[in-house]
Chain A
Amino acid sequence: MLNYIKSEIYRIWHSRSFYAFGGILCGIILLLHIALIIGAAIEPDFRYNTFRFSLNNLTAQPMIMVILGVIVAGTLFNEDRKSGVLKTTVAYGISRESILIGKCIVSLLASLFLLIVVLVFYLACAYFTMKEPEWQPIRQMLLAIAASLPSAIASLIFGNVIFMLCRKDITGVLWWGLIFYVIPMACFFIGLKFEPFEHISGWMPYNLLNMGVNVSMNTYNCIWNTTGGMLQCIAAGAIGCIIFLIWGVLRLRRLEL
């Protein structure tokens, strides 16, 4: 497995798609700030060109991290099956389980690297272009990232499994949407009528990170601001990681290529 990890790190280091993805993320951040600067230049009473508003864009929508998880998996590994690389790797005696675990480790390392680079760029952009830099929005944003990171890793693992299983990217994306959006939403609405579903839906990342977060210009009513809430976010993500990893190993063990 170590050889597989080494080869994947080499590939990612030399492929453009990973850097392009990082570049796109930084580009979006830059565009957001440019839009805010232009807004302030056009409208004298514009009150959104603040450090707080800039950072709150991420703090208010931690599901972005979960979405980014599957995009990273897709960016790094969607070619493996289509290009026939997976077949060759298996033919060299590397087990499907080792490939999956190797992919998860490599994509996690790549994601964390990307997260650090993009986060530093985000903070620098906000600090140098926005008004009233302050500590509280930074703290809240970091807490949002910490709370959503386990679920983002679960999404990354799910993405790695699904892109190995599906020949078409779109099928993988639809499965991801079903598991991370449709089912949690359905459970939430069913839970309004049937109590057991309410408990189950309360542990699903979409419901935790969407319903449990209310951010405005002045207030942060967020689930991660209580110890219990933060632990629930971390536990939900960790459970997701374990479930998707076990499911992936079992499902891929008999995958014919």
Chain B
Amino acid sequence: MDIYAAQSRNLTKYYHNFCALNKVNISIKRGEIYGLVGDNGAGKTTFLKLLSGQIFPGGGELSLFGKHTQADLKNARSRIGVLIEEAGFYPSLTVEQNLEYYRLQKGVPGKQTVAETLEMTGLSEFRKKSCRELSFGMKQRLGLAIALLGVPEFLLLDEPINGLDPSGILEMRNLLLKLNHEKNITILLSSHILSELEQIATVYGFLQKGRLLEEISAESLYKKCADYVEIRVADPQTYTVLLEQKLKHTHYQILPEGKVHILQADLPTEAYSALASDAQIAVLSLSHCHQSLEDYYMNLKNGGTTTC
């Protein structure tokens, strides 16, 4: 059994002249919750669509469960669940009928599967409701229910918490964690809400303008971003030169308003203020902070790979 649920090698995709993905190498191991991070147009949805076969690659190689020929990929796709962009269902049918439609299509045995999936996604009380009447959040839940039919081995979710209310987000998070822990379902999800992603992902892939900037485990990311010192000084340029020369610190970031973020700051806070005062640079503020996924991503996006 292949250890990877999905792998891409030099995966490239063009939409006419626009390069949506540029030689992307992503590896998703079985059992992982892979968080795909990127701005709009970074290539997240394109990657998910390529995996699900909705679009075709312009170059490179793609594999699912170790299979990479067209015929094998088609078979492998019967083992995945998908919610990309908006959920696909017939508005004129009821929630239950839509699920039954997909159950038959996927060849999932047992009529009770539909009831179980409805229960799992909190849609039981809406089962007789026409899908036309559902709220956006409910439609997202239905999309997830469709993706979960037959308990797939690999879930592809594009912005799954869009439109959900706070309790819906919490339920969705718990459900995904439960599926991952109890059924060992591999999950690939993209989200703009990085604070949410931070709570469940075990691996991150950062995409920008079709390129993979970095692929990093949550553990490594946590270590990298553990703590940093934020110092606001009158002359940040001179201060950072001193930081490099005297304290041999190359992991920093200059921000507006004289702020300097000293990453991987392993010295006591006083050492950083002393550096400024010795050079007669006025220290306006000093604090010890923790870097979030959002900070890390912004830093990475702005070319700060070497500073963090």
Q: Which residues of A contact B (CB under 8 A)?
A: 3-4, 6-7, 10-11, 14-17, 79, 83-95, 254, 256-257
Asked if B97 contacts A93 (CB within 8 A), the reply is no
Asked if B84 contacts A87 (CB within 8 A), the reply is yes
Q: Which residues of B contact A6 (CB under 8 A)?
A: 104-105
Asked if B90 contacts A83 (CB within 8 A), the reply is yes
Task: Knowing that A79-B92, A88-B146 touch, tell me 16 more A-B residue pairs with CB under 8 angstroms.
Answer: A3-B104, A4-B105, A7-B102, A11-B90, A11-B97, A14-B97, A15-B92, A83-B89, A83-B91, A88-B88, A91-B54, A91-B82, A92-B78, A93-B80, A256-B55, A256-B56
Q: Which residues of A contact B85 (CB under 8 A)?
A: 84, 87
Interface residues on B, range: 20 to 34
The digit string for B50-89, where 1 denotes a CB below 8 A from any CB of A, is 0011111000000000000000011111101010111111
CB distance from A67 to the nearest CB of B (A): 24
Report if B100 contacts A (CB, 8 A).
yes
- Measured CB to CB, the nearest residue on chain B to A14 is B97
> Cα distance A99–B73 when bound, in Å?
17
Q: Which residues of A contact B104 (CB under 8 A)?
A: 3, 6-7, 10
> Cα distance A83–B91 when bound, in Å?
8
Contact of A93 among B55, B76, B86 (CB under 8 A): B76
Q: Which residues of B contact A93 (CB under 8 A)?
A: 53, 73-78, 80
- Measured CB to CB, the nearest residue on chain B to A88 is B88
Asked if B78 contacts A257 (CB within 8 A), the reply is no
Chain B residues numbered 84-116 whose CB sits less than 8 Å from any CB in chain A:
84-93, 97, 100-102, 104-107
CB distance from A97 to the nearest CB of B (A): 11
Asked if A87 contacts B88 (CB within 8 A), the reply is yes
Q: Which residues of B contact A86 (CB under 8 A)?
A: 88
Q: Which residues of B contact A87 (CB under 8 A)?
A: 52, 54, 84-85, 88
- Measured CB to CB, the nearest residue on chain A to B156 is A91
Asked if B54 contacts A83 (CB within 8 A), the reply is no
Asked if A10 contacts B101 (CB within 8 A), the reply is yes
Contact of A3 among B49, B87, B105 (CB under 8 A): B105
> Cα distance A120–B79 when bound, in Å?
46
| Most chain A CB inside 10 Å of its own CB: which residue of B77, B80, B101 | B101
Q: Which residues of A contact B52 (CB under 8 A)?
A: 87, 90-91
> Cα distance A7–B100 when bound, in Å?
8
- Measured CB to CB, the nearest residue on chain A to B106 is A92
CB distance from B302 to the nearest CB of A (A): 33
CB distance from B187 to the nearest CB of A (A): 15
- The list of the 9 closest CB pairs from A to B, nearest first, reads A84-B88, A93-B77, A91-B52, A7-B105, A88-B88, A7-B104, A91-B82, A93-B78, A85-B88
